[in-house]
Amino acid sequence: MDGNYYMIHDYLIFIGVFAIFFFLTVSIYLFAQNKKYRQRNTKLSETNKIIEQRLNEVQLEHIGTKLNPHLFKNILNSVQSHAYQTYMSLDKLANVLDYILYESNNKFVSPKEELTFALSLIEINKIKINPLFDFRIKSKIDKTDRIFEEKVFAPLISVDLIENAFKHTDFLAPDSFISIYLELENGIYTMKVSNKASLKNVLEKEKSGFGSQSLDQRLKMIYNTHYQLHKSSKNGIFTAELQINLGEFYDKMRYS
């Protein structure tokens, strides 16, 4: 009986050790498989992000190729139609073309560079209008702002609002005007453009096509939740206000 007891005891110990070894082996295997699946999911996630990023870049490149020729055409028409101001026009045109040819190929420029471009573009467009026309431009730029010279601004963002203001203004109306306000303060860029437009022009502007759509697409793809764009029309006055929180966007770029 003692012999049987020891045999059963040894057998139970063997079963216990085997069970522990089995569970350890299975646990290690499952852990390894789980790690492998996690690594695979991480790689798939990273691949998806790369594909999505590249798709956005391709879409932005496509938008850019359609935007720049359109901008060139408008600028050259302005210069050509006012030959008596050719010298001043060409001086501003040189600045604009340098920006379009060189800086706009970069993914981001500084607010300083974009603001300089926007002011030159406004000056070129101004030569099309009567000197007595009610044109108002005001800026409030904090040059000590931490992002003033940082590469956080998508180039040519200012084009659409400026071009549309000049394109859709009713210059013959006695109370016609164009008002442009630019601000950079506490990392927030604000651009507000208002103009007197006929009902026909306002309706055409709402349906306009590529310029307005490309601006919305670019803002959404680049700044996502860090921007607001509001457009309104009341009593023949069209107003568009763009606000980009460049400070938040800059912090996200640095720490992502």
Closest CA to 114 of 252, 220, 205, 242: 242
Q: Is residue 161 part of a domain?
A: yes
Closest CA to 163 of 134, 113, 205: 205
In this prediction, residue 207 carries a pLDDT of 45
Question: Domain residues for 136?
Answer: 77-255
In this prediction, residue 74 carries a pLDDT of 64
**Secondary structure of the chain: what % helix, strand, coil (to 5)?**
60, 20, 20
Q: Is residue 26 part of a domain?
A: no
Q: Is residue 58 part of a domain?
A: no
Q: Which residues pair with residue 135 across a beta bridge?
A: 178
In this prediction, residue 37 carries a pLDDT of 61
pTM of the model: 0.66
Q: Is residue 150 part of a domain?
A: yes
In this prediction, residue 129 carries a pLDDT of 81
In this prediction, residue 248 carries a pLDDT of 95
Q: How many domains does the chain have?
A: 1
Tens of pLDDT, residue by residue over 160-182, are 899 889 888 888 888 899 999 99
CATH of the domain at 142: 3.30.565.10
Question: Rounded distance, CA 26 to CA 231, Å?
Answer: 62
- Ranges in the chain, pLDDT < 70: 1-91, 198-213
Q: Is residue 7 part of a domain?
A: no
Q: Is residue 169 part of a domain?
A: yes
Q: Is residue 109 part of a domain?
A: yes
Q: Is residue 198 part of a domain?
A: yes
Question: Rounded distance, CA 131 to CA 185, Å?
Answer: 31
Query: Coil, strand or helix: which one is 215?
Result: helix
Tens of pLDDT, residue by residue over 138-160, are 999 999 999 999 999 999 898 88
In this prediction, residue 98 carries a pLDDT of 77
